[in-house]
Amino acid sequence: MATILSAQCTDQRVNQVTPVLFKRYKTPSELAKARPAELEQIIRSTGFYKSKAKNLVACAHAITIQFGERVPDRMEDLVSLPGVGRKTANVLLGQAFGQPAIVVDTHVKRVSNRLRLTTSDNPDQIEQDLQQLLPASQWTGVSQRLLLHGRYICLARKPLCGRCPIYDDCDAKEKTPR
């Protein structure tokens, strides 16, 4: 549920909202029966709260009915859930289930392109390109490192090249001299 809330929202905001959400709705079946107005009020600060509330309830309902209140651990099953795309599914596979997974968010997309690991802007293609470059055992860790590198060093508008640990390996056009 937290990954659904994270769309167009900061992790910090999601981390403020989820304790209240999970305290109020302890199981998928409880969330599946949530009153929209109450749920919307809890998640309002995450943005797009009406759409997210609808997806949370529908997802919880599907988890309850189709999967016996257990979050599935297969890509095909995860992406069948309302509000769950490949990015969210890969977050769950890698972090919750310990399976090799490449999460492609805006940071991974930017850093992968700057490092010439891909030439695509399509997240699905970037995922495939990275999968071909790396052994499966490294997918989760490398995508997490790319994400963090993009979030804190290789920023979109003004990369912090002077602090970059892979400066010598980078030939991005945005690269600034040290």
pLDDT digits (tens, 9 = 90+) for 7-33: 888 889 999 999 999 999 999 999 999
Alpha-carbon gap, residue 106 to 83, rounded angstroms? 18
Render pLDDT for 115-146 as a digit per residue (tens, 0 to 9). Answer: 999 999 999 999 999 999 999 999 999 999 99
**Active site residue ranges:** 87, 105
Of 95, 76, 65, the C-alpha closest to 3 is: 95
Of 177, 174, 94, the C-alpha closest to 142 is: 94
pLDDT greater than 90 at residue 112: yes
Radius of gyration, CA atoms only, the chain: 18
Lowest mean pLDDT among 1-10, 76-85, 125-134: 1-10
Q: Does domain 106-169 have CATH number 3.55.40.20?
A: no
Domain boundaries, the chain: 2-83, 106-169
pLDDT greater than 90 at residue 162: yes
What is the fold of 2-83?
Endonuclease III; domain 1 (1.10.340)
**Is residue 174 very low, low, confident or very high in pLDDT (cuts 50, 70, 90)?**
confident
Alpha-carbon gap, residue 86 to 103, rounded angstroms? 8
Q: Do 2-83 and 106-169 fold alike per CATH?
A: no
